[in-house]
Structure 1
Amino acid sequence: MLKQLLIILFSEVSNAYFTDDFNTWLTEVYGSDVQTTLNRADLGPMGSFGGKQYRNQMLTKDPIVFVHGVSNTAGEQPLIGAIFRASGYDWSELYATTYANGAEGNPMQWAKYTMNCKYVKQVRGLIVAVRLYTGRAVDIIAYSLGVPVARKAILGGLCVDTKENLGSPLTNSIDTFVGIAGPNHGVMLKFGFASVPACVFNLIPICNENTGLFSGICPLESSFLKDINSVVGYEGKNIFTIYSKDDQLVGYNICGKITSQITGQHGEKVYDKKDHNETFRDSLPVQLQMILHHIVIKV
């Protein structure tokens, strides 16, 4: 029965966009430019999802904003929505937008991306919009590069690249923040038993010293990473992380810091032998309990 339900929900999610009601509300409140930026209709069903069926629809749970990983899109991981829908969530309580443009058919596209102000503003815009649209506190589930991007979106302040002022922290609007396999202190690639700092040199955009993951020359970090790690406890009322000691992409320990931990967090789920993708995929029940009950379960 559950398998059949997930198949149905898989189809639902993979064909999801913002609902007509949410798109109409975005246009009425923020204008067509913001609606277009958040909806990402240019990416088709991969661009976004979420929204009420009608304006007065009542939510029973705090809405979740999902922030995807580097070179992913909002609609590329339909199992997320399926699991949460099967656990009682409605589409009016699940939201995502695509910052950047996904992999674009290039397996190395991730190396070209940075954590620039445009992406941060887009994620922040969705968080604020969902808060106002639903009238409820927002939960955040962020994965991989989406973790530092979401943290900056919540932190606000000046963008490190453009110096635009994003405004005050959104802390009071966030109930629970879950950061999964996030490179909060950079990345340490793993090859067998050896680990190598991936962003010691500023040779590709993702490793640049301003909006990239530059790290590994202890204790130096990029301006972006220093910024998001300079304040403690702003991510929300409840802060959790999920990561693996065997993550081959983000790594584990960089310059004496566990890169996927967040200072001030209230709990964590640590795996010993899961890779980067498995850490996200296999932790869905853990994510759900962190969001709903603020606990860390054993699975």
Structure 2
Amino acid sequence: MKAWQTIAKIPPDALVESRLQLHYAIQFIAATGTALAEPLPDYSHTSLAWHPVLEVFVGSAIQAPQPFQVALDPVRLKLILLNQQSETIAALPLPGKTMAAGLNWLQQELSQLGVDGNKIAFLDYPPDDFPDHPLAYGASFDIHQALALGELANYYANTAPLFEAIIATTEDATATRIWPHHFDMATLIMLPGIKNGSPLTVGVGLSPGDTNYNEPYWYVSPYPYPDTASLPALDRDGFWHTQHWVGAVLPASRLAESISAEAQQPQVEAFLQAALRTSIALLKSESPAEV
């Protein structure tokens, strides 16, 4: 496992432009999975994963005469086609390219691999529920913030093994997935019991930033949402988010003041573990099992 890379070297709220460009760039992966991967009920065929060896975002494996996966190098903003051995088949640097140019390249390259590239189209999201950016109107990708891109990649690289540790010791936890809609990386834990007709779940995730917080943050969200009037205190500088959704939150700006891997990793790990225990306890105390 790769050692924790120190983060928050760049002010977390200075990552917004790079985060938005990455969010748009991963749409090529999601579009390919949606069009060509075997559909799954939870839509995970549209999701991505973090590849810890190549240090790229990677999509679903696509069955074709020449099987492949679409990947994105987040630091170089490079779109990559990988074969079954995770070797590069073709690559397109996105800086200087528009979304339309990237899609045209992807369609042509995939057609050479024996699939119908014309099936690939960008996903439609609900109005006002996907970040706006000049890339949506024909602007080109820009890599002038390479340090910020690398910093964002480290958030995912650092967090992925923490989630894997949770999954390994927790029953009924899904694989870690990165969702193209909100660009969050998360695992969902299913608990026994039902409340008000809904299964009991806890989502454990990392967001690179969104309309809730203009910076990366970790979250642990129990569902159905507990009563916000009696939420217990959180340690490790976490707090409860209660607007529109309920969850324990640790923003990047609250990481240990001594910016070092030795301080950051145990803080994030302890926050996730404690918030998970608290969330499970809240659901169990409020939710007698229903048959």
TM-score normalized by structure 1?
A: 0.27
Pick the structure with greater CA Rg: 2
TM-score normalized by structure 2?
A: 0.28
